[in-house]
Structure formats: C-alpha cells, structure tokens
Structure 1
Amino acid sequence: MGADFGYRGERLGLPKDGPGSLASVGRRIAALFVDWVLSVLIAYGLIAHRNLHQANNWALVVFAVVSVIGLGLVGSTPGKLIMRIRVVQVDGNRLSPLGALLRTLLLVLVVPAVVFDRDTRGLHDRAVKSVQVRI
C-alpha cells in the first residue's frame, strides 16, 4: 500500500549512508544552533558592548555575514564544520558566492527554510540548487 519513494537523496543521486549522503535534520538543526550561539556571543562581546538587547538585534546580522563568508569560501559555517556538514550544489560543485548570498538571505527569512520537500531540502536550498551533505 502506498508509494515507495526510496531513501532521502536517492532521486538526487546521493548515496544512502556515509560521506556525500544527505545530512540529517538533527545535524542541521544542531549546526544552526551552534552558529546562532556563536553569533550572539560575537554580537554581545564585540558589537553591542555588553548590552544584551542590542546583541540580540545584531546577532542576525552577524549570523548572515558568517554564513555568506563561510559558505562562499569553504562551503560550511563553524556549526556545520563541527557537525560535519557541507553545502554543495546538487551536481557536487562548490556553491558560488552569489548562491551563498541568496541562500543566506532566504534562510534569515525563516519561512523558506521550514518549507521542505521529501528529501528534506528547504526552499532556500532548492532556490540555489544546493544540498547539505555529510563529510
């Protein structure tokens, strides 16, 4: 009964397990949490001069800058590196700097990140034809 869609990432040509397979939702959320905590700490210590309310406002800006730089240069943010995740294009190539910028802008809007397909790729990943894989 019901359709068999295969494993997550099969229709993208990714392996089922191991390096190159789709990163789990748990790993991706943990990486996002690590990146957010680092952004709040940076904003609190360097920008907001120990004013917690201002730090929370600046944390999103810091998060976006770290994401664009990290994804554009090495394909990962600090949180993604800790969780052993890398963002690549579906064809396996590096994400372009413009792709990293667009992906980050859509990510900070939140809604595109929480609407996803059966491969658990958010709209922000689909828009730039990227995928988060295990390394």
Structure 2
Amino acid sequence: MAGSLDSSAPGSPSGSGTSHPGARFGLPESGVGAVAGFGRRLAGVTLDWLLAYALTLGFLGLDALGGSAIGWWVWLVWAVLTAVPTALFGMTPGMVAVGIRVARVDMAAVVGFRAVARTILLGLVIPPLIRDEDGRGWHDRASATIVIRSRA
C-alpha cells in the first residue's frame, strides 16, 4: 500500500540523473527521512481538509451547508489546523496518518513561523502542483521546507 501512496504524478522528479530527490539536502533515497511522494502528500492534505470540514460543521451546525460562507470557514479552520501544528511539530493530523512531516531544509528542529506562509500558499492550490526536481512545490521552496517520510 505504501507504494501506491508514493507513486509519481505529472511534474514529479524523474530518475534520469544519478541523484535522487532530496540528495542535495542529504536525504536518503528511500525509507524514513526520504522525500515524501506526491500521493502521500495529497492523502495527508485531503485528510486535513476533511477534518477541517467536520470541525466547521461541528461548530456551525448542518444548517451552514446551505450558506455561502461555509467555504471560507472551512478554509480558515484548515489553515489554523495546518499552520499551528506544522510550526510546532512539523506535521498535521493528516500527515501523521500517512507518515510524513515537514522539515526545514537546514534541518532545524522546528519549522516555526515559516509554516504560516507555507500554509497560505498551500491553500492557494496551484503552488503545490508546480514542483522542482526534489518534489518541492512553490510553497515549500518559499518557506525553505521539504516534506519527508516519518515512517516506512
């Protein structure tokens, strides 16, 4: 199952060179600490969105489903649910579920305030889809972070 979550997507790094994604940051080619695949990342953010949706409906009630502001409330709850745990622990509930975490490229222990900018760019949807040879989207490049596997 892990292999299906790590499958490559269009625009993902190719194995044409002698190095692997994350090599320039000193990351291993596979296993714990390796660059997380697009599938795991997508699964993690999807779980976080679903959790944000459930929390929002829990606070606003099911009547909010017909309202025009529900999308903004879900986005706000998701942003807090993403930025705060990422800044403090390097992972969100969805990331914990799929075995990935955010790390700074300088490998400092805490992601810190840069998680806020990363979350805002991630919430714009397009920046994460435009990826470099290490699988980092614009949101990761702007915040000097990289998403790595926290378990096999």
Q: TM-score, normalised to structure 2's length?
A: 0.81
Does the aligned pair in 2 maintain the 1:31–1:80 contact within 8 Å? yes
Aligned partners of 1:14 and 1:88: how far apart in 2? Answer: 11
Q: Which amino acid aligns with 2:145?
A: S
Aligned partners of 1:7 and 1:63: how far apart in 2? Answer: 32
Relative contact order (C-alpha < 8 Å, sep 6+): which is higher? 2
Q: Which amino acid aligns with 2:53?
A: V
**Number of residue pairs the alignment of both structures matches:** 132
| Matched residue, 2:61 | 49
Does the aligned pair in 1 maintain the 2:102–2:111 contact within 8 Å? no
Q: TM-score, normalised to structure 1's length?
A: 0.90
Q: Which amino acid aligns with 1:57?
A: W
Q: Which amino acid aligns with 2:34?
A: S
Superposed structure 1 runs of 4+ greater than 6 Å apart: none
Q: CA-atom RMSD, angstroms?
A: 1.4
The alpha-carbon deviation at position 49 of structure 1 amounts to 2.1
Give the gaps of 5 or more residues in structure 1: none
Aligned partners of 2:141 and 2:110: how far apart in 1? Answer: 12
2:132 counterpart of 1:124: no
Does the aligned pair in 2 maintain the 1:9–1:21 contact within 8 Å? yes
2:35 counterpart of 1:22: yes
Percent of paired sites with the same residue: 36
Aligned partners of 1:85 and 1:101: how far apart in 2? Answer: 18
2:86 counterpart of 1:74: no
- Stretch deviating more after TM superposition (109-118 or 58-67): 109-118
| Matched residue, 1:99 | 114
Give the gaps of 5 or more residues in structure 2: 1-15
Aligned partners of 2:136 and 2:110: how far apart in 1? Answer: 15
